[in-house]
A and B are shown apart, each in its own frame.
Chain A
């Protein structure tokens, strides 16, 4: 279900702007509200300023990767390499800034460019070498992780730059910088996906790649570009990741790709492609982060956390696959109730 906006045209006929590519924001909104309520009930430390600040910092990293994951999923692919990309990119940032003595803005720029390169690698293999996105990015997951360990003999690099930490913990007129990043990137993401040719073609390619090709879309190029966007968003997240502890580490980002995919799916993106909504994905990222925060607050051991995260992903995909049937069931139930 897309968001339905009706506008009256000159002749007085209603022209409908519904295009059917999006997914409703209501489901994810309910999910995030229920989870917030449950976590708040389970721990009285949840609604403290310190903890909420922590949640916002955490969600910023996940949510930036989620933008890339959502776009790749809408285009009919999947990106399992983003967690490893982040580890590799923090090492690249740290090496350029500290090892090679490049100044911080230039190092950040280099990191973003490398993010695009990693994305191109995934995109090239998927689009032009016809390797399924799942296989490509699983391979990239271990390749990128391995590359990250090649830097600095596999040890973390500390004390990149004091200025870097400000990018993560800083605030402007009382608003945390990370909130501004989220607003900025999600604003652009939403605009691009809904109101540009590129966004529309992403939906078309994910919806039906053959029909897209017969309609004159360069399918390979669009798939390639979706992965490049994902790579660049991983780079953005990696900068925040490095800023959090002012360090680069080959161990960063383990499992983050799954959180980002789960966020997109909770947000209503269909793993079949062609359907999803950037703004809903943000709610998905919030849901995932609050769950993890709740588990931490209740001192749930990592082993159990890992199991729970796995089940959330299963549940989200299950709901995605059975969504239409569930809606049907609910509707019939309501009709029966009325009759």
Chain B
């Protein structure tokens, strides 16, 4: 797991958006392992292309770029992989209900999510609905942008547990956070971001919280001067 550390304003989210094909990139691409030895250089032109290639992006702002507030959990969970609940040209609403129910159970989301709109749920439940969406999409690489911001402590712990399950299943996670404790606890490697550019990469063991903060702060501060 890779952590991206950066202060608010370091435009770290733009790296995620560039990876996901939302903002256009001028340079750089993604190396995807196509077999054991060979890598392919890719640059996604749209989120749908990124999703097809196994990427998932949990955005920083779940209200504006994540959830469909007026819908219940079912369509919110299945939307990124809708083909999985289709038979020929048709949606299998019953199957969708079963799928959503099992994810709601698995992530301990309030069962209320299945009958009322997600707009009425707590922040933690909303965030878990979004995590359910990307689990359902069978992504291999999860880009999680501030996944624990604005949710209560209990939900935070559940989110951490889920992230650990994802990595244990052999999938990649890129965690973006301004919370250095969170990054140090969760990541294997940490990259420091300033002005949407990675300036440093450390192994977790090689850096302390104090050093990490200094790196993020000084580089950000220097920019301002």
Residues on A lying within 8 angstroms of B by beta carbon are: 2, 4-5, 7, 9, 13-21, 194-197, 200-201, 203-204, 207-208, 210-218, 274-275
Q: Is the CB of A214 within 8 A of B68?
A: no
B47:A211 contact, CB within 8 angstroms: no
A194 to B94, CA, bound (A): 12
Question: 5 shortest A-B CB distances, which residue pairs?
Answer: A15-B97, A216-B48, A20-B72, A216-B51, A207-B68
Q: Which of B57, B70, B93 contacts A195 (CB 8 A)?
A: B93
With contacts A7-B94, A210-B65, A211-B66 known, is A20 near B117, CB below 8 A? yes
Residues from chain B with a CB closer than 8 A to the CB of A204 are 68, 75, 79
Residues on the A chain within 8 Å of B75, using CB: 19-21, 200, 203-204
CA distance A176 to B89 in the complex (A): 31
Q: Are A215 and B93 in contact (CB under 8 A)?
A: no
Interface residue ranges of B55-76 to A (CB < 8 Å): 57, 59, 64-72, 74-75
The answer to whether A17 and B101 touch across the interface, beta carbons within 8 angstroms, is no
Check B65–A207 contact: CB distance below 8 A. Answer: no
Which one of B52, B74, B100 has the highest number of Cβ atoms from chain A below 10 Å of its Cβ?
Answer: B74
A17 touches B89 (CB 8 A): no
List B contacts of A4 (CB < 8 A): 115
- Complex: chain A residue closest to B68, CB-CB: A207
| Given A200-B91, A214-B57, A216-B47; A9-B71 close (CB under 8 Å) | no
Q: Is B82 an interface residue (CB 8 A)?
A: yes
- Point out the residues of chain B lying under 8 angstroms from A274, CB to CB: 68, 70-71
Question: B83: which A residues are within 8 A, CB to CB?
Answer: 197
B111 CB → nearest A CB, Å: 9
Task: Judge if B128 is at the interface, Cβ distance under 8 Å.
Answer: no
Q: State the CA gap A312–B208 with chains docked (Å).
A: 67
Chain B residue with the shortest CB-CB distance to A21:
B71
Q: List 28 A-B contacts (CB under 8 A).
A: A4-B115, A5-B93, A7-B94, A9-B98, A9-B101, A14-B101, A15-B98, A16-B72, A16-B101, A16-B114, A18-B74, A18-B115, A196-B91, A197-B82, A203-B68, A204-B75, A207-B68, A207-B69, A208-B69, A210-B65, A211-B64, A211-B65, A211-B67, A212-B79, A213-B22, A215-B51, A215-B80, A216-B80
Instruction: Bin the interface of chain B by size.
Output: 35 or more
Q: In the docked arrangement, what's the CA distance between A177 and B93, Å?
A: 33
Q: Which residues of B have CB within 8 Å of A214? A: 20, 22, 47, 57, 59, 65-66
B-side contacts of A194, CB under 8 Å: 91, 93
Q: Which of A201, A208, A217 has the most CB of B within 10 A?
A: A208
Q: Distance in Å from the Cβ of B178 to the closest Cβ of chain A?
A: 21
Task: Check A215–B47 contact: CB distance below 8 A.
Answer: yes
B218 proximal to A (CB < 8 A): no
The minimal Cβ–Cβ distance linking A215 to chain B, given in whole angstroms, is: 5
User: How distant is the Cα of A5 from the Cα of B57 in the complex, in angstroms?
Assistant: 32
Distance of B91 from chain A, by nearest CB (Å): 5
- CB of B46 within 8 A of chain A? yes
**In the complex where A17-B93, A20-B71, A208-B67 touch, is A215 in contact with B115 (Cβ < 8 A)?**
no
Smallest CB separation, A229 vs chain B (Å): 16
CB-based contact B65/A196 at 8 Å: no
Q: Look across to chain A and name the residue whose beta carbon is closest to the beta carbon of B58.
A: A214
Cα distance, A259 to B20, chains bound together (Å): 43
A203 touches B65 (CB 8 A): no
User: Chain B's nearest CB lies how many Å from the CB of A225?
Assistant: 15
B50, B59, B74, B79: the one within 8 Å of A17 (CB): B74
Q: Is B12 an interface residue (CB 8 A)?
A: no
Task: Please indicate the chain A residues that have their CB under 8 angstroms from the CB of B74 in the complex.
Answer: 16-20
A196 to B89, CA, bound (A): 6
B91 adjacent to A275 (CB under 8 Å): no
Q: How many angstroms between the C-alpha atoms of A16 and B112 in the bound complex? A: 11
Residues of chain B from 22 to 48 with CB closer than 8 A to chain A in the complex: 22, 46-48
B219 to chain A, nearest CB (A): 29
Q: Are A7 and B86 neighbours in the complex by a CB distance under 8 Å? A: no
Complex Cα–Cα for A208 and B76 (A): 11
Contacts A4-B115, A17-B96, A18-B114 given; 5 further ones with Cβ under 8 A? A9-B98, A20-B70, A195-B90, A208-B64, A211-B64
Check B133 for interface membership: any CB of A closer than 8 A.
yes
Can you name the residue of chain A whose Cβ is closest to the Cβ of B98?
Answer: A15
Smallest distance from the beta carbon of B129 to chain A beta carbons, Å? 12
